[in-house]
């Protein structure tokens, strides 16, 4: 009968194919000119100005270039800019762009593109908004020159323009940068070392970048987001489908992928033992965990209660539970990334020199009335999902009532934005992690924006003293005075309990041994890499 024969025929074909397939050689290596990367999260938003998500920032670094960058010693160095001058009264900055800068469509990069890009960035980024508070106007007297006129001296112009992390002031063509800052762009032309292949982009599946043959790298060696961005591969493929942590490691060990951006902590010791794999800590500065209060609602509207929490939250239990691998974490008393210019232990005694008994006493003395703490726990972010369990345990030991609620990260983000009372969908505390550059000075550190409900970061801390100190910091140009101001800000922040810093950790990448060219960076950059 026809059906039977058809089935037999199909079976024969399949078996043959399977056998031949088994015999197929070690295709697993892929070709030597394509780099296969597993990024730390799914890439959804392709506009790095529209969102602060690190994955979108990394995408930005592939296809755009920046005016300045931050090197591995946290120094600001020029990237697209060739020379610049600052007027003696600090109010006029003139910049000249390097030669040979071109967008992917062949048009040269001009001052007009720069000004438009900066204006759009200045509407979304917190440091950008702060900078534009000083800006009177910008103009471009020649195609390769642009000028910024300030109303008063500003102490962080270059730090802002060379900001390494979200949002990065990437330079886009004028026509793209004129898109409303609250609408996503849909044209991904840039002037960076890679070109985005929009036609090959499959959300949740893969994102593809090809080498930009016309890119002119700087002469210096690469360091952080500065230096020469030479590309030694033809293609980079981001694998967006592989989200299971164990499957990622399996794939790396079998050579099915080349790099994992953020292998899960518990799997790192096994990766280190594998002779075909290299575990590399690329970031010169560590990341930091923090616990954030909702200052608008009970019980954390009372600074004495917040102090009790600072006393209860010793950093070690959090680090041990979440990271676990001893070489990867250490405590850090500062609210600014340890090892960077503004870090100090000033004012941190309430946390570092404390113990649970003290916390219990502080809580009793504060007049805490037993209001339960609604603690939000994300279930789908392996990097921070154990912190709330530790927090709940410590809070309970101190004498708090705790309501630990689990939700996916997106629900948490939605709930976090609400100022309503807890029974109407509000919250009391959440925990998160920041990359070093995002918290290493008082301007970038969103948790220290204490303008209250108006525009402070979620949590809405309010303190006029810190606001005044921050404004002073913004205007100060002397590094010694800036450090002193930072100390004072930190001391005050600990005193009123803006948030609780929970220690620092490294998040290394893992790669096949045949990938070389890694260098210190505060992001995930894919230039300078060779696949041998």
Partner 1 sequence: MYTFLLRRILSTLPVLVIVAVLVFLVLRLAPGDPAAILAGDAASTEQIARIRVQLGLDKPIVAQFAIWAGNLLSGDLGESFYYKMKVTTLIGQRLEPTLALATLTILVAVLVAVPLGVAAAWRFGGWFDRALMGFSVLGFSVPVFVLAYILIYVVSLKLGLLPVQGYRRIGDGFWPFLRHLILPSVTLSVIYIALIARVTRASVLEALGEDYIRTARAKGLTELRVLVRHALANAAVPIVTVVGIGIALLIGGVVVTESVYAIPGLGRLTVDAVLARDFPTVQGLILFFSFTYVLVNLLIDLSYVFLDPRIRY
Partner 2 sequence: MLLGNWSVRIGGGALVLLLVIALAAPWLGTVDPTLFDAASRDLRPGEVGEITNLDGETMKHVFLMGSDSLGRDVYSRVMYGTRVSLLVGLLCALLALSIGIVCGLAAGYLRWLDGTLMRFMDGVMAIPAILVAITLVAILRGSLATVIMAIAIPEIPRVTRLVRSLVLSIREEPYVEAAVALGTPAWKIMLGHILPNCIAPLVVQGTYIVAFSILVEAILSFLGVGLPPDIPTWGNVMSEGRAQFNDYPHNIFFPGVFLAVTVLSVNILGDGLRDTLDPKMAKRV
The greatest distance separating any two alpha carbons of the chain, rounded to the nearest whole angstrom, comes to 95
Q: Which stretch binds partner 2 (CB under 8 A): 202-210, 300-308, 406-414, 477-485?
A: 406-414
Neighbouring-strand partners of residue 260: 38, 510
> Exposed/middle/buried for 400, CB within 10 Å: 0-12, 13-18, 19+?
buried
Site string for partner 2, 147-186 (x = CB under 8 A): ----------------------------------------
Q: Which stretch binds partner 1 (CB under 8 A): 83-91, 148-156, 413-421, 506-514?
A: 413-421
Q: Report the 10 Å Cβ neighbour count for 145.
A: 18
Residue 398 or 466: the one with the smaller Cβ distance to partner 1 is 466
325 binds partner 2 (CB under 8 A): no
187 contacts 174 by C-beta, under 8 angstroms: no
Using DSSP, state whether 174 is helix, strand or coil: helix
The partner in contact with residue 186, picked from partner 1, partner 2, none with C-beta cut-offs of 5 to 8 angstroms by kind, is: partner 1
**Closest-CA residue to 73 (of 525, 529, 521):** 521
Q: What span, in angstroms and rounded, lies between the C-alpha atoms of 389 and 327?
A: 22
Cα first-last separation, the chain: 56
What is the closest distance, in whole angstroms, from the C-beta atom of residue 460 to partner 2 in the complex? Answer: 23
350 contacts 310 by C-beta, under 8 angstroms: yes
Among 42, 51, 250, 514, binds partner 2 (CB under 8 A): 250
Using DSSP, state whether 353 is helix, strand or coil: coil
Among 216, 245, 413, 491, binds partner 1 (CB under 8 A): 413
State the alpha helices, DSSP H only, in 476-510: 479-496
Binding to partner 1 (CB under 8 A) within 33-72 occurs at 42, 44-46, 51-53
Task: Say how far residue 91 (Cα) sits from the centre of its chain.
Answer: 31
Residue 216 or 382: the one with the smaller Cβ distance to partner 2 is 382
Within 8 A by CB and 6+ apart from 487, the residues are 344, 346, 347
- What angle is formed at CA 440 by the lines to CA 97 and CA 294, rounded to 5 degrees? 125
What is the closest distance, in whole angstroms, from the C-beta atom of residue 170 to partner 1 in the complex? Answer: 16
270 binds partner 2 (CB under 8 A): yes
Q: Which stretch binds partner 1 (CB under 8 A): 178-186, 297-305, 310-318, 507-515?
A: 178-186
What is the closest distance, in whole angstroms, from the C-beta atom of residue 264 to partner 2 in the complex? Answer: 5
140 binds partner 2 (CB under 8 A): no
Residue 38 or 208: the one with the smaller Cβ distance to partner 2 is 38
What is the closest distance, in whole angstroms, from the C-beta atom of residue 372 to partner 2 in the complex? Answer: 14
Q: Which residues in this chain contact partner 2 in the complex, by CB under 8 A?
A: 244-246, 249-250, 264, 266-267, 270, 317, 320-321, 324, 356, 377, 379-380, 382, 386, 389-390, 393, 396-397, 404-408, 411
């Amino acid at each position: 009968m026809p059906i039977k024969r058809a089935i037999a025929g199909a079976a024969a074909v399949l078996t043959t194919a399977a056998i031949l397939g088994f015999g197929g050689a070690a295709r697993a290596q892929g070709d030597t000119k394509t780099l296969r990367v597993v990024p730390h999260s799914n890439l959804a938003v392709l506009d790095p100005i529209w969102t602060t998500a690190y994955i979108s920032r990394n995408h930005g670094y592939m296809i755009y270039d920046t005016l300045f960058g931050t090197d591995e010693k946290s120094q600001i160095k020029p990237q697209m800019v060739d020379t610049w001058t600052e007027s003696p009264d600090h109010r006029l900055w003139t910049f000249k762009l390097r030669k040979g800068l071109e967008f992917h469509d062949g048009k040269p990069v001009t001052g007009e593109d720069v000004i438009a890009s900066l204006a759009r960035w200045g509407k979304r980024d917190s440091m950008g908004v702060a900078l534009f508070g000083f800006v009177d106007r910008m103009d471009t007297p020649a195609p390769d020159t642009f000028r910024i006129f300030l109303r008063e001296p500003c102490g962080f112009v270059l730090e802002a323009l060379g900001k390494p992390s979200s949002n990065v002031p990437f330079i886009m063509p004028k026509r793209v940068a004129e898109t409303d800052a609250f609408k996503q762009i849909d044209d991904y032309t840039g002037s960076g070392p890679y070109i985005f292949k929009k036609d090959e982009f499959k959300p949740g599946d893969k994102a593809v970048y090809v080498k930009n043959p016309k890119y002119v790298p700087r002469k210096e060696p690469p360091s952080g987001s500065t230096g020469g961005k030479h590309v030694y591969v033809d293609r980079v493929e981001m694998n967006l489908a592989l989200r299971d942590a164990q499957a990622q490691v399996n794939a790396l060990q079998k050579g099915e992928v080349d790099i994992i951006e953020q292998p899960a902590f518990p799997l790192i010791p096994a990766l280190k033992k594998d002779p075909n794999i290299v575990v590399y800590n690329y970031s010169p500065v560590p990341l930091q965990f923090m616990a954030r209060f909702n200052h608008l609602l009970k019980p954390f509207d009372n600074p004495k209660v917040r102090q009790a929490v600072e006393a209860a939250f010793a950093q070690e239990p959090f680090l041990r539970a979440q990271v676990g691998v001893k070489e990867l974490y250490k405590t850090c008393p500062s609210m600014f990334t340890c090892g960077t210019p503004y870090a100090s232990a000033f004012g941190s005694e309430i946390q570092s020199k404390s113990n649970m008994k003290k916390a219990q006493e502080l809580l009793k003395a504060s007049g805490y009335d037993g209001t339960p703490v609604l603690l939000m726990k994300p279930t789908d972010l392996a990097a921070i999902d154990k912190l709330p369990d530790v927090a709940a345990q410590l809070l309970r030991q101190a004498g708090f009532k705790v309501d630990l609620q689990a939700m996916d990260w997106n629900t948490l983000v939605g709930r976090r934005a609400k100022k309503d009372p807890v029974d109407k969908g509000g919250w009391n505390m959440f925990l998160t992690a920041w990359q070093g550059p995002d918290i290493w000075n008082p301007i970038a550190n969103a948790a220290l924006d204490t303008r209250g409900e108006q525009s402070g970061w979620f949590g809405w801390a309010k303190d006029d003293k810190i606001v005044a100190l921050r404004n002073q910091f913004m205007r100060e140009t002397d590094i010694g005075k800036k450090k002193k101001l930072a100390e004072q800000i930190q001391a005050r922040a600990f005193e009123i309990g803006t948030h609780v810093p929970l220690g620092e950790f490294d998040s290394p990448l893992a790669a096949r041994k045949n990938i070389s060219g890694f260098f210190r960076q505060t992001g995930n950059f894919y230039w300078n890499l060779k696949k041998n």
